Protein backbone atom coordinates (compact mmCIF):
# COMPACT_ATOMS: atom_id res chain seq x y z
CA UNK A 1 0.00 0.00 0.00
CA UNK A 2 1.30 3.43 -0.94
CA UNK A 3 2.06 5.96 1.75
CA UNK A 4 -0.04 9.13 1.93
CA UNK A 5 3.06 11.11 0.94
CA UNK A 6 3.55 9.01 -2.21
CA UNK A 7 -0.12 9.34 -3.12
CA UNK A 8 0.10 13.13 -2.76
CA UNK A 9 3.26 13.28 -4.87
CA UNK A 10 1.69 11.16 -7.64
CA UNK A 11 -1.37 13.42 -7.64
CA UNK A 12 0.87 16.48 -7.92
CA UNK A 13 2.76 14.91 -10.82
CA UNK A 14 -0.45 14.07 -12.68
CA UNK A 15 -1.71 17.63 -12.20
CA UNK A 16 1.56 19.08 -13.54
CA UNK A 17 1.31 16.82 -16.58
CA UNK A 18 -2.32 17.79 -17.16
CA UNK A 19 -1.44 21.48 -17.05
CA UNK A 20 1.40 20.86 -19.50
CA UNK A 21 -0.86 19.13 -22.04
CA UNK A 22 -3.96 21.22 -21.34
CA UNK A 23 -6.08 18.12 -20.94
CA UNK A 24 -7.30 15.60 -18.36
CA UNK A 25 -5.10 12.49 -18.10
CA UNK A 26 -7.93 9.93 -18.27
CA UNK A 27 -5.81 6.87 -19.02
CA UNK A 28 -3.22 7.69 -16.38
CA UNK A 29 -5.85 8.28 -13.72
CA UNK A 30 -7.72 5.13 -14.75
CA UNK A 31 -4.53 3.05 -14.57
CA UNK A 32 -3.77 4.36 -11.09
CA UNK A 33 -7.34 3.60 -10.05
CA UNK A 34 -7.14 0.07 -11.40
CA UNK A 35 -3.60 -0.89 -10.38
CA UNK A 36 -2.94 1.38 -7.43
CA UNK A 37 -0.18 3.96 -7.23
CA UNK A 38 2.71 1.55 -6.82
CA UNK A 39 1.42 -0.93 -9.41
CA UNK A 40 0.71 1.71 -12.04
CA UNK A 41 4.03 3.52 -11.67
CA UNK A 42 5.94 0.23 -11.59
CA UNK A 43 4.29 -0.93 -14.80
CA UNK A 44 4.85 2.38 -16.59
CA UNK A 45 8.53 2.69 -15.75
CA UNK A 46 9.28 -0.90 -16.75
CA UNK A 47 7.46 -0.61 -20.06
CA UNK A 48 9.71 -0.63 -23.13
CA UNK A 49 7.66 2.32 -24.42
CA UNK A 50 8.56 5.77 -23.18
CA UNK A 51 5.37 7.40 -21.92
CA UNK A 52 4.12 10.71 -23.23
CA UNK A 53 4.17 12.20 -19.74
CA UNK A 54 7.90 11.58 -19.39
CA UNK A 55 8.58 13.13 -22.79
CA UNK A 56 6.41 16.18 -22.13
CA UNK A 57 7.93 16.89 -18.72
CA UNK A 58 11.48 16.17 -19.93
CA UNK A 59 11.06 18.54 -22.86
CA UNK A 60 9.85 21.23 -20.44
CA UNK A 61 12.98 20.71 -18.35
CA UNK A 62 10.97 19.25 -15.48
CA UNK A 63 12.38 15.74 -14.98
CA UNK A 64 11.90 16.21 -11.23
CA UNK A 65 8.13 16.02 -11.80
CA UNK A 66 8.13 12.70 -13.68
CA UNK A 67 6.90 9.43 -12.24
CA UNK A 68 10.49 8.23 -12.54
CA UNK A 69 11.64 10.96 -10.15
CA UNK A 70 8.79 10.13 -7.76
CA UNK A 71 9.87 6.47 -7.75
CA UNK A 72 13.47 7.41 -6.95
CA UNK A 73 12.38 9.76 -4.15
CA UNK A 74 10.13 7.06 -2.67
CA UNK A 75 12.46 4.17 -3.47
CA UNK A 76 11.67 2.36 -0.23
CA UNK A 77 8.11 1.78 -1.50
CA UNK A 78 9.14 0.17 -4.81
CA UNK A 79 10.96 -2.99 -5.84
CA UNK A 80 14.67 -2.52 -6.56
CA UNK A 81 14.28 -3.30 -10.27
CA UNK A 82 11.62 -0.58 -10.58
CA UNK A 83 13.86 1.98 -8.87
CA UNK A 84 16.77 0.98 -11.12
CA UNK A 85 14.61 1.34 -14.25
CA UNK A 86 13.40 4.76 -13.10
CA UNK A 87 16.94 5.94 -12.34
CA UNK A 88 18.16 4.67 -15.71
CA UNK A 89 15.51 6.67 -17.53
CA UNK A 90 16.41 9.80 -15.60
CA UNK A 91 20.12 9.30 -16.23
CA UNK A 92 19.52 8.77 -19.96
CA UNK A 93 16.58 11.12 -20.48
CA UNK A 94 18.12 13.18 -23.26
CA UNK A 95 18.99 10.10 -25.33
CA UNK A 96 15.49 8.59 -25.12
CA UNK A 97 13.06 9.26 -27.95
pLDDT digits (tens, 9 = 90+) for 40-59: 999 999 988 888 899 999 99
Q: What pTM did the predictor assign?
A: 0.94
The pLDDT value given to residue 51: 86
The pLDDT value given to residue 3: 97
The residue ranges of the chain whose pLDDT is under 50 are: none
The pLDDT value given to residue 5: 98
Q: How far apart are CA 58 and CA 78, in angstroms?
A: 22
Q: Are 50 and 93 in contact (CB under 8 A)?
A: no
**What's the number of domains the chain is made of?**
1
Query: CB count, 10 Å around CB of 86?
Result: 25
Q: Are 5 and 74 in contact (CB under 8 A)?
A: yes
Structural domain of 88: 4-95
Amino acid sequence: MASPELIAEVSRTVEIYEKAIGNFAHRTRQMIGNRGHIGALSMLVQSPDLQRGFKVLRDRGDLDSTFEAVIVRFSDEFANNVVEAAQWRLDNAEQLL
